[in-house]
Chain A
């Protein structure tokens, strides 16, 4: 038993850390990248491909260099540390996972992801679906040899830059049925798209389909499983991202407590504040441990894998809220300003609980997979 990284992974981690530090160190905050027309910086995305940051998220089965839970954890912790807005989540994790779960030949698309050539988005969330894996109202109908998609997906990460969309749609059955779902590929841009910024500085889109031609990737059991796999991969990714963010919030706060003086002393000398910092430290270590458990057992059988990712996502939700709120409070007024970078980390941390199932959603999942 050990918790150290192998030499190769340590190298990958160091390389990515330097890479992101070079790019993100030069700018004021991540908004400088997300307010670009693409919603991210295409130069960073292309270069990330050449240092192996995208292929690190993809299994050797598809000519990637990683793709294990541990790889996702390492890469996304750094993504959190720098609040990196490039499409690693939408394309690197979600679409690559969805594609590899369709049980069909997807080699060309995977090549295009690894090389950074294509942005591919996974379109699943609808206005009313909240966090349900099977809640799908967007309809797919077959006429002759063609499939047509109708309806609206409300939250498609990086949807405005995607040259390919992977869309979950209902072929038959009721809105919540696990059966009767299909995953479709759309190559055209024959849909209405409304891109928007998110409160935490990322880019997503609302996409409406009116009889858009699509090709069927998989359906029924395979399709439902594909959604689960995708959401769980994304849940592990954003949980890991949250670890990087929490550490950053904590470090910013310690620095602030050491420099800010009131009543003639640094405020960090006050016991009431010290104890709250220790509480944060404990909870961050707990959250980190939970993510490590999820990452380290990600290749296990599904019940264990889902159970541990749900545990991590639940704890991340609880601890993330604590860290975000406490760090703002311990900073006082400065923590409330747009100017000071803490707010960006705090906002992303809170919003992570709104992605891929919040802590309440995952406590239910945890109970289910633990056979409560």
Chain B
């Protein structure tokens, strides 16, 4: 057992920190820090810089323009970009479609699509969930009918994150309805600019527009946009979902949240004593900090096992479940810490260039909002209940 990073790993961390210092524009990190709404350009500026440096595709092999980093390096990188308040690297093209294309795509598809992901020319969205198909994804209804040189696609996708910024969407569609649901699904690459595609916003409980519905009405999709073989889409979809996810527990987010919580708890008073000294509240913070420290080691154990070639399929689910609960708990305590100051809500505060005096300290405005929106963490990417089913099936062979 050795809890220290190697000298090379520490040097790598230094290199990442220094690069971020020089290349992450201050106005963007400031927006992330103060929870301002990010524009498409904010994401793209940062991702293009990473791309120029060769650091954008951390999960791709070197021959396709990836970094070839070890899992430990990826972990360090992911930790530092969170600490630096960088916008998140939009994962749909890079970490979801990319690895599937590399594994199952044709030579022509790889040569065409991969460079466009790297250059940020294409912004991909994910077309999986449908109004009637969430946890039971294989029951999806969007249909693609073979019309010789093209498919005719009809149906509706939903929860499409940042779909309003996207020009492309990868979709699971039905190409055969006369068999077991899993055996009639194909994986299609669709241009959002095609005629018959309509992206409509869904406003979430925090009043924000991040997710969308995507409607397909008689959309013509060329046959060459089929990924891999017809009716094998379920295999590709599963490959995408079980693909190595070192950051799934969100430990860096929880760590920065608890630091923030401890900091503000020393400035907020309850009956004349700071919250951090309040016996009940401080014990809640302490228990959460203990959980986070344990989770960090649990995550590193998994990362480290993965770097030795052990596939972490089940651990990913465990990390996702506990990681989401812990992140939600940080939001919960932040909300409780600020008391009635959780109520004021000025939506304009989160617009770029808003310069008015906030109500209360600047940080309180986002706390309730963050609490509500982060209820999503235990729902998306396979809800915690579905993760438990997956684990039970593989761990207990019941």
Residues in A lying within 8 Å of B, measured CB to CB? 1-5, 70, 254, 257-258, 266, 268-269, 271, 274-275, 277-279, 281-282, 285-290, 292-293, 295-297, 308, 311, 314-315, 318, 363-364, 366-367, 370, 372
The answer to whether B286 touches A363, judged by C-beta atoms less than 8 angstroms apart, is yes
Q: Which residues on B sit within 8 Å (CB–CB) of A296?
A: 1-3
B interface vs A, CB < 8 Å?
Answer: 1-6, 9, 72, 262, 276-277, 282-283, 285-287, 289-291, 293-298, 300-301, 304-305, 318, 321-322, 385, 387-389, 391-392, 395-398
Query: Contacting A286 at CB < 8 Å: which of B262, B285, B291?
Result: B291
Known: A258-B398, A286-B322. A370 touches B298 (CB 8 A): no
CB pair A289 B282 closer than 8 Å: no
Chain A residues within an 8 Å CB radius of B305: 3
Q: Say yes or no: A286 contacts B298, CB within 8 Å.
A: yes
Q: How far is the CB of A86 from chain B (nearest CB, A)?
A: 25
**9 residue pairs from A and B, CB less than 8 Å apart:** A2-B1, A287-B294, A290-B294, A293-B293, A296-B1, A297-B3, A314-B286, A314-B287, A366-B286
**Which of B9, B300, B321 is within 8 Å of A278, CB to CB?**
B321
Question: Which residue of chain A is the closest to B276 with respect to CB atoms?
Answer: A372
Chain A residues contacting B9 (CB-CB under 8 Å) are: 1
**B290 pairs with A311, CB closer than 8 A:** yes
Is the pair A275, B286 in contact by a Cβ cutoff of 8 Å? no
Given contacts A3-B304, A285-B318, A286-B295, contact A370 B398 (CB under 8 A): no
B291 cross-chain contacts in A, Cβ below 8 A: 286, 315
Which residues of B are found within 8 Å of A2, using beta-carbon distances? 1-2, 304
Residue of B nearest to A287 (CB): B294
Contact of A367 with B283 at beta-carbon distance under 8 Å, contacts A257-B398, A277-B396 already known: yes
Per DSSP, are chain A's interface residues mostly helix, strand or loop, or mixed? helix
Which among A3, A257, A269 has the highest number of chain B CB atoms within 10 Å? A3
Return the chain B residue nearest A276 by Cβ. B388
In the complex, the answer to whether A1 meets B396 with C-beta atoms within 8 Å is no
Closest chain A residue, CB of each to CB of B301: A3
B174–chain A nearest beta-carbon distance, Å: 27
6 extra interface residue pairs, beta carbon distance < 8 Å, beyond A5-B1, A314-B290: A1-B304, A257-B396, A278-B392, A281-B318, A296-B2, A311-B293
Whether the Cβ atoms of A293 and B297 lie closer than 8 Å is: yes
Q: How far is the CA of A180 from the CA of B287 in the complex (A)?
A: 34
Q: Closest residue to A368 on the B side, CB-wise?
A: B286
- In the complex, residue of chain A having the shortest beta-carbon distance to the beta carbon of B326: A286
Closest CB in chain A relative to B78 CB, distance in Å: 15
Chain B positions within 8 Å of A271 at CB level: 389, 392
User: Are the CB atoms of A258 and B396 closer together than 8 Å?
Assistant: yes
Chain A residue nearest in CB terms to B315? A285
* A275-B287 in contact (CB<8A): no
Determine which residue in A274, A296, A318 has the highest number of CB atoms from chain B within 10 A of its CB, and name it: A274
Interface residue from B72, B276, B290, B392 paired with A277 (Cβ < 8 Å): B392
Report whether A370 and B72 are in contact in the complex, using a CB–CB cutoff of 8 Å.
Answer: no
CB contact between B282 and one of A70, A258, A277, A372 (< 8 Å): that residue:
A372
